[in-house]
Amino acid sequence: MKLVVVCGTRPEIIKMAPVIRELEKRNSDYFILHTGQHYSYNLDKVFFEQLEIPQARYNLEVGSGSHAEQTARILTGVEQVLLQEKPDVLLVEGDTNSVLGGALAAVKLHIRVGHVEAGLRSYDRTMPEEINRILTDHCSDYLFAPTDKAKSVLLAEGIPGESVFVTGNTIVDAVLQNLSRTEQKSNILDALNLRPKDYFLVTLHRQENVDSRHRFASILQGLDRLADEYKLPIVYPIHPRSQKRIMEYQLNPQNLSLIDPVDYLGFLQLENNAKLILTDSGGVQEESCILRVPCVTLRDNTERPETVVVGGNSIAGIKPEDIHRCSKIMLDRANNWQNPFGDGKAGERIVDTILGGK
C-alpha cells in the first residue's frame, strides 16, 4: 500500500509527525506532499528539522492568496502529484485549505482519504475552517476522531460507524515525544528574560479576529488591561498576518511583548512554563490542556469543547471585561484536570487502521 501525507501549515506538520514517525518505523511506502500554505522558515522548514521527520518529496509552494485562489492552486497541484504517484490512500489533518484541497483532489481520482482529527465542530459557519472540516469529513473514507464526542458528531451527521475510528489526538503524541527535548534544545526563556510561571502567553491569528479591526482592537485592549493589572509580561509571538493588520489598523498595544514566530520546541517550552495562555488557536487549546496550563480562548466558540468540560479552558470572546473575568477564573482554578485527548498512541492506531484495511 502506498500512502501520501499532505501537510500545509505548521500545526499540520506537528500533528502529522507522529503518523510519519510510525510509517518510518514500519518502513512503509509513503511520501510527504507539502502544499506550501505556510512558507517561511519559522512557520515551516524548522518544524521538519526539529521534529526529525523527512523533508517533503514535493512542495507546491502555493503561498498566500484568497481562499478561492489558494484552494484552487492546492487542488490542481495535488492532483498532478497524485496522477504521477498513484497512491492508495491520502492522509490529511485538520481544517485548512490544504486539507480540503488535498481531500477533494484525491476523492475525485477515487483515492481513499483519511482525515486525522475528524469530527470537530464549532457550529460557526462564518469560520472558513468549519467549512473545510465538514466537507473533508464527508468525503473521507477513514475518519480518525480524537474523542468519543467527535465520533458522536460524525455519527449524527450520517457518516457510517464503520468509517469512524476513535484514536486519540496526535497532538498528545507530539507533546509527549518532544517535551523533554525542549529543555535540551531550547533556551527561549533565557533569551526572552522570562521566569517560569511568571508570564502570560498569547497567540492570536484567526481570520475572524485579526481581519476585523473592531475584534482585534478589543482583544488587544483586554490584553493590555491584564498586563496592567497583573504586572506580568505578556508574550505574543506574532504571525505575519497579524503583524500586517496591526500596522494597517494603526493599533498600538502598550503592554505586550511582540516577538517573531517561534520554532516548535521553543513554543512548547513557552507554553509549558506560562502562568496563563490566551489564544484563538485550536491546537494551543489542546496543548495547554495536555500540559495543564490554564487557557482562555479569545473566540466566541470552540471546536474543542472537551477542554472546557474538563476545566482547562474558558471561552472569553473578545470583550475586555470578559477576557479579564475569564482570566481571573482560570488563574484561580486548580490545574488538576484530566487530559481528554488520549494516551499518546494515536499515530500508531491510525497507521494500524490504514495498513490493516488493505
pLDDT in tens, 31-73: 999 998 766 545 567 788 888 899 999 999 888 889 999 999 9
The pLDDT of residue 8 is 92
Q: Which residue has the cell 464526542?
A: 149
Residue 162 is placed in which grid cell? 464503520
Mean local confidence (pLDDT), 238-261: 93
pLDDT of 147 > 60? The answer is yes
**Residue 128's CB: how many other CB atoms inside 10 A?**
17
Amino acid letter, residue 262: V
The pLDDT of residue 307 is 98
Distance CA 238, CA 243 (A): 6
Q: Which residue has the cell 485562489?
A: 69
User: How sure is the predictor about 90, in pLDDT bands with cuts at 50, 70 and 90?
Assistant: very high
CA dihedral 227, 252, 300, 275 (to 10 degrees): -20
Mean local confidence (pLDDT), 337-353: 97
DSSP 34: E
Nearest of 221, 225, 197 to residue 209 by alpha carbon = 221
Average pLDDT of the chain, as a whole number: 94
Higher-scoring residue by pLDDT: 240, 83 = 83
Mean local confidence (pLDDT), 137-147: 98
The pLDDT of residue 6 is 97
pLDDT of 358 > 70? The answer is no
CB–CB of 283/15 below 8 Å? yes
At residue 205, what are phi and psi to the nearest 5 degrees? -150, -10
Decide: helix, strand or coil at residue 357: coil
CB–CB of 237/261 below 8 Å? yes
Q: Enumerate residues 6+ apart whose C-beta is below 8 A from 57.
A: 31, 32, 33
User: How sure is the predictor about 134, in pLDDT bands with cuts at 50, 70 and 90?
Assistant: very high
The pLDDT of residue 222 is 97
What fold characterizes domain 2-169+342-356?
Rossmann fold (3.40.50)
Residue 291 is placed in which grid cell? 500540559
Q: Which helix (H) or strand (E) holds 106?
A: helix 97-108
**Residue 111's CB: how many other CB atoms inside 10 A?**
19
pLDDT in tens, 181-240: 887 777 899 999 999 999 999 999 998 999 999 999 999 999 999 999 999 999 999 988
**Residue 64's CB: how many other CB atoms inside 10 A?**
12
Decide: helix, strand or coil at residue 210: helix
Residue 316 is placed in which grid cell? 472569553
The pLDDT of residue 160 is 98
Question: Catalytic residue positions?
Answer: 205
Q: Tell the CATH superfamily of the 181-332 domain.
A: Glycogen Phosphorylase B; (3.40.50.2000)
User: How sure is the predictor about 270, in pLDDT bands with cuts at 50, 70 and 90?
Assistant: very high
Distance CA 123, CA 18 (A): 28
Distance CA 258, CA 251 (A): 13
pLDDT of 155 > 70? The answer is yes
Distance CA 49, CA 47 (A): 5
The residue extents of the domains of the chain are 2-169+342-356, 181-332
Distance CA 253, CA 275 (A): 21
The pLDDT of residue 243 is 94
Q: Which residues pair with 142 in a beta bridge?
A: 114
The pLDDT of residue 39 is 62
| 2-169+342-356 shares its CATH topology with 181-332 | yes
CB–CB of 19/170 below 8 Å? yes
CB–CB of 277/201 below 8 Å? yes
Decide: helix, strand or coil at residue 317: coil
Q: Enumerate residues 6+ apart whose C-beta is below 8 A from 252.
A: none
CB–CB of 315/302 below 8 Å? yes
Residue 228 is placed in which grid cell? 496592567
Q: Which residue has the cell 484561580?
A: 332
